[in-house]
Amino acid sequence: MESSVCNKGFSITTTPYRFYVPDGCDPPLWSEVADSSAGGGLPQSNVATVADCQYVCIQNADCQGLDWEPGSDTKCWLHIGSIGSQRDTPGITHYILRDRCPQCKQTLFG
């Protein structure tokens, strides 16, 4: 049986939100798709930057990605559990969370 684990210690980097990265990890990996959005996003109020929106997503274990809509009052839309179908949407950037904790995974056999 194999499983992946991350070290449970934390270090702090600086962003508008205190952004925590587990020891042994690099920052989370995102794929970015310009002029695209996906259905089913949940609006997040009072989120001012893409980095803040990514932070909110990372804090939710079920978050799979987000849409960033800079021209709107509600800029941050999280995709929890699954990401709906993607569509061309000028001015919006769709982000897919590829790895929350890169380079800290260890393979355990047991």
pLDDT one-digit tens code per residue, 24-64: 777 888 999 999 999 999 999 999 999 999 989 988 999 99
**For 95, phi and psi rounded to 5 degrees?**
-120, 135
- Taking residues 70-84, what's their average pLDDT? 95
pTM: 0.74
Output the average pLDDT for the chain: 79
Residues in the chain: 110
3-class DSSP state of 47: coil
**For 56, phi and psi rounded to 5 degrees?**
-60, -40
- Taking residues 85-102, what's their average pLDDT? 93
Closest Cα to residue 70, out of 86, 47, 97? 47
| CATH (one of 3.10.105.10, 3.50.4.10, 3.40.50.970, 3.40.50.720) for 28-103 | 3.50.4.10
